[in-house]
Amino acid sequence: MKITIIGGGYVGLVTGACFADTGHDTTIIDVDPAKVAMINEKRAPIFEPGLESILLRAIGKNLRASLSYDSVGTSDLTFICVGTPPNDDGSANLSYIESASRSIGTALQKSTGFHVVVVKSTVPPGTTETVVCPAVLAFAHKTGDEIAFAMNPEFLREGRAIEDFRKPDRIVIGSSQPRAGDRVAEVYRTFSAPVVRTGLAAAEMIKYTSNAFLATKISFSNEIGNICKDLGIDVYEVMEGVGLDQRIGPKFLDAGAGFGGSCFPKDVSSLSVLAGRAGVDPKILRAVLDVNEEQPYRLVALLEKKTGNLSGKRIAVLGLAFKDNTDDVRDSRSIPVIQELLKKGARVIAFDPMAGQNMQKIFPAIEYAGSAGDALNGADGCLVMTEWPEFGRIDKEFELMAHRIVIEGRRILSWNGAEGICW
Ligand code: UGA
């Protein structure tokens, strides 16, 4: 099929590349000329394992990036993959969705034939119907007979997105009319995953609910972990026993420093705002966010209990990315940790295999080490903040510390001298 993707950010680029890899003719549209040029030069503007090799295979064949909306008019489907960043009150900012919808409408003015506009961005329930549909139709000067709408949320995890795209647990397709949904289903014809067909708003809600539930699992594990810590119990032993219950499942029960990234914090906040507007007090969602906000401070408090006053102490922070396998530091739990350490007068020496440069934009004044060993050399304490597998191999480097006080915010070390935040 001929597909246009609006937005060459994380979701748009991975989705576009994977659609091309599946055999579809795909154009990715972005407003950033540097990004468009990079993609067309077969270079990935973001780090994602496996992405660049798809660009190498597909660019020049059935994948291209463009600044212009020209391809929309001749495509079978257009996927909206633009960002929905949070407003100050936690609600989702829909301005990129609105402007993409207007541009798609304009591009469809002269087109003939049936076209489907699909929202892939994470949006509050009702957005496709009340924001996207009217804007596209008004700017295209067309009716719902010629253009129909669908909502197809993504469930990709950063760092594992290509693998998640190829082997989804399910494909959710919400649509305004069956033939719009049928056309989206056709795109995924070769996939073996179950397809869930719903209305537009239900598909939008499935995405929010999935992320909110996963975030709830994490905060729940962290609360149990905080209780376990006080009782001298290892929460990982507990969750192993709990997760084997098939009704519960073993995934997303890893206690630690809490969840970060561009999705969970933003989506749970946005859902809380929606709840408020619906007259529902979001007690559980608020607790999920509260527990998450508190974990980084618990980590620093535990470190301080061991090292004494942190003022003037050299503290190594291992891991800056919000999780392993990415250079993304958005809402990383390292950010409040470093802020708190600096507030307490500590000298921070940070190391991350990939995310140092991105964190430098947030904390330009702290020291960045070239390796874990360099960060640990002479340190009075260490906090482990990201589950990078290579941290599991750190051993002799801990001997370089002035005082061997190591607190894990993620369970990753095999060295047995560390203490965990919840274990
Ligand atoms: C998340 C969802 O997992 C994806 O399904 C979804 O598509 C994506 O958001 C999105 O909405 O775009 P992502 O943010 O890439 O994906 O990362 P996750 O692997 O889910 O991890 C999120 C955070 O939770 C990380 O900080 C991670 O360290 C933390 N986490 C995860 C825990 O603290 N404990 C766990 O057991 C699992």
Does 261 sit in the ligand 1 pocket, CB within 6 Å? yes
One domain, residues 193 and 236: no
Task: Please say whether the beta carbons of 161 and 48 come within 8 A.
Answer: yes
For residue 121, the domain's CATH number is 3.40.50.720
Q: What is the pLDDT of residues 120-140, one digit of tens each?
A: 999 999 999 999 999 999 999
For 299, the domain range is 232-423
Read off the pLDDT of residues 24-74 as tens digits, 9 standing for 90 and up: 999 999 999 999 999 999 999 999 999 999 999 999 999 999 999 999 999
Last residue of a domain, which of 198, 218, 253?
198
Residue 193 and residue 243 in one domain: no
Q: What is the pLDDT of residues 283-342, one digit of tens each?
A: 999 999 999 999 999 999 999 999 999 999 999 999 999 999 999 999 999 999 999 999
Instruction: Tell me: do 36 and 161 sit in the same domain.
Output: yes
Question: Among residues 198, 217, 244, which one ends one of the domains?
Answer: 198
Distance in angstroms (rounded) separating the CA atoms of residues 98 and 378: 53
Q: Is residue 51 part of a domain?
A: yes
Q: Which two tokens stand for residue 306?
A: 């061991």
Residues 387-421: tens digit of each pLDDT: 999 999 999 999 999 999 999 999 999 999 999 99
Whether the pLDDT of residue 109 is over 90: the answer is: yes
Report how far apart, in Å, the C-alpha atoms of 371 and of each of 30, 317, 356, 376, 395 are: 36, 11, 11, 9, 13
Q: Residue 131 and residue 135: Cα distance in Å, rounded?
A: 6
Instruction: Kindly report the protein residue whose alpha carbon is nearest to atom 34 of ligand 1.
Output: 254
pLDDT of residue 338: 98
Q: Which of 112, 139, 120 is nearest to 184 (CA)?
A: 120
With a 6 Å cutoff on the Cβ, whether 154 touches ligand 1 is yes
Position 360 confidence tier, pLDDT thresholds 50, 70, 90 = very high
- In whole numbers, what is the pLDDT of the chain averaged over residues? 97
| Same domain flag for 324 and 191 | no
> For 251-284, what is each residue's pLDDT tens digit?
999 999 999 999 999 999 999 999 999 999 999 9
Q: Is residue 212 part of a domain?
A: no
Residue in 133, 263, 382, 422 annotated catalytic: 263
Query: Is pLDDT above 90 for 144?
Result: no
Q: Are 268 and 169 found together in one domain?
A: no
Q: Does residue 165 line the site of ligand 1, with CB under 6 A? A: no
Q: What is the mean pLDDT of residues 143-163?
A: 95
Domain count, the chain: 2
